[in-house]
Structure 1
Amino acid sequence: MMGLFEEKSVSPMLIAQMQEPFNDDGWIYELKLDGCRYIGYFGQNGTCLRNKRNMELLPRFPELKGLHRSVSERTVLDGELVVLRDGIPDFFELQRRTLLTDRFKIEMAAARHPASFVAYDCLCKDSRSIMDRPLLERKEALQSSVREDSLIAISRYIPTDGIGLFRAADERELEGVVAKRAASLYYPGRRTKDWIKFKRMADEEFVVCGYIRKNSRTFSIILGKYHDGSYLYKGHVTLGVTKEAVGQLRESGIMPFAAIPAGAGNESAVWVRPDRVCTVEYMPNTKDSLRQAVFKGFRTDVVPEDVD
């Protein structure tokens, strides 16, 4: 039977909910990075980075092909791929990198704004799965497995003071904080309340179902959610939507919703194939609309059927 390292098919553990910051002696807290989740497999023969859809995207990030030289052999790490600009994770630049296909443009982008891998969990060390060990033990294994450099880092954490760390993240306009139960085990593919996020702004995935052209330079994307084989209308997002983003959509001429509200420009909508997922950032705690919504980009690691 193949092990975790050989199979290279781990589905990452997921955060189940967002809530207000809290302090607790039984929890640790680390910064939430504005990047894309990847599982890294590091062995003698090289580096393999796979996203939540188990897609290998290392060809889009050639600057990371030598990461295995900084990690213990036959080790599997959970972490975040980020692109830093002025020391702050830039999701838009990272998302742009994931969509590049031209080798020359990829190499130019890698030289201009190199990506880095920030590891926050160790799932397998020396070919042995440690997912059944408490989080703090896995953190120790992570610390002993990675030699940090400009392309790979270990996520720092603090005990107890989640409120203080969130306040610091808020002051620096970072994305937020993830709270993790110190004794928690790692459950691949499962949403668990052992991990909780505190966010300055909420973000959420939606299926792109259409768009509305407001003028030559302004567009709104029509958002939906997948539910029981059909799509539910969830409103619009305009801020952050570019002509280039709309140009990536494929028209279908078929409205995917059973019903939509009147007005809001829906009568002039251009319907597209609901095969793209995007992330939208908005002010949390709003029930009826996405307040101050901002389009952050398309996801290559999420399928529409997962957005419910």
Structure 2
Amino acid sequence: MTYDLHPMLATLTDKPFDDPDWIFETKWDGFRAVAVAAPGQAALYSRNGNDISKKYPAICEALAAIKKEAVLDGEVVALDAHGRSRFQLLQNAGRESARLLYCVFDLLYLDGQDLRAWPLLRRKEALEKVLPKSPLLLYSAHVTGDGLKAFTKAKRAQEEGVIAKLASSPYLSGKRTRDWLKVKASQEQEVVIVGFTKPRGSRNCFGALLLAVRDGKRWKYAGRVGAGFSEKSLREIYAKLVPLITRAKPIDKKVPSEANTTWVKPKLVAEIKFTEWTAGGEMRHPVFLGLRTDKPASEVIREVPKSLRVVKSSP
């Protein structure tokens, strides 16, 4: 049987809500991954279809304990000492002692049967029964109706936010739908690296990264980030930037210190945490969280929350 492994995507909205017809789950801060599992074997695939099984062999081994053939949707995360998922920790999870976990929230196929047309809650009931018991696997629990309480709890715990899902929703592979909504407790944005500045003082490799988002057929400048790097990450990112150096400037906007800037081809995607957008479309107080390998640069656009009133009133 041929499986559609493109994950269903959520629409960003501007505020949490209560609704008895919706369920609310933790918004995990990691890599989205679809698993294809059968007794004795399992594989993980990223959002853009790459096989990432070799990066997470322990998770694949845990999934291989499944009793039936299944396709699962979830998020690979790394937990901090307080049990919170942190994208920064995931960057070094393959080399350091971060606690890895595959948080599973949906079941798409089971023993050759396509379950995607089933209501979400029915799929989750089947998922909870089939998911192997392992410290590396977690069934993503939910609450029904109490979205405001779930969001407040997530914010107090310094988690990324909540995902709201219509309890009766089918699974629409590869579609960004309004049946699934995400509400963020903090501002984060995926961006593409288009250049870097020379380092100053005792800093090595580079000073700051210049960032952009896709705007139609061009790249729109989104600011620069110089915070959030370790000596190790500076070296690793610089090694990825060097092969991408180009004379062609990827953005139209004139930016400060261009003479001190080296341009690169817009290929590397980064995750940035920040406080707000300026009127000029730049991120204020940006902090680098890590590189993303699960999304192509061509899909990186500025994510603008949609009005909850508009989203929930639309068909």
**Shift of residue 113 of structure 1?**
2.7
**C-alpha deviations, 1:156-196, integer Å up to 9, x for none?**
10001111011111111111111111111111111111111
SS at 1:21 equivalent: coil
Instruction: Give 1:237's aligned residue.
Output: 225
User: Identity of counterpart residues, as a percentage?
Assistant: 29
2:7 is aligned with 1:15? no
Instruction: Give 2:287's aligned residue.
Output: 294
Letter of the 2:250 partner, please give it: P
| Partner of residue 113 from structure 2, selected from 128, 152, 166 | 128
**C-alpha deviations, 1:37-81, integer Å up to 9, x for none?**
000111124010000111111111222231234434211110000
2:62–2:134 contact (8 Å) kept in structure 1: no
Structure 2, unmatched stretches of 5+, are 302-315
**Shift of residue 221 of structure 1?**
1.0
SS at 1:168 equivalent: helix
Greater shift, 172-181 or 140-149, is seen at 140-149
Instruction: Give 2:2's aligned residue.
Output: 3
**C-alpha deviations, 1:204-256, integer Å up to 9, x for none?**
21111001235142722111123444322222122214522234213223211
2:16–2:183 contact (8 Å) kept in structure 1: yes
CA–CA distance in 1 between the matches of 2:129 and 2:259? 59
After TM superposition, the score normalised by the length of structure 1 is 0.88
| Partner of residue 34 from structure 1, selected from 29, 47, 52 | 29
2:277–2:283 contact (8 Å) kept in structure 1: no
| Partner of residue 55 from structure 2, selected from 46, 51, 60 | 60
Report the CA distance shift for 1:225/1:160 in structure 2 as closer, same or farther (over 3 A): same
Greater shift, 118-127 or 291-300, is seen at 291-300
| Partner of residue 173 from structure 1, selected from 158, 161, 165 | 158
2:241 is aligned with 1:249? yes
Count of matched residue pairs: 290
Instruction: Give 1:211's aligned residue.
Output: 196
After TM superposition, the score normalised by the length of structure 2 is 0.86
| Partner of residue 202 from structure 1, selected from 147, 165, 187 | 187
2:253 is aligned with 1:268? no
CA–CA distance in 2 between the matches of 1:68 and 1:289? 42
Structure 1, unmatched stretches of 5+, are 98-105
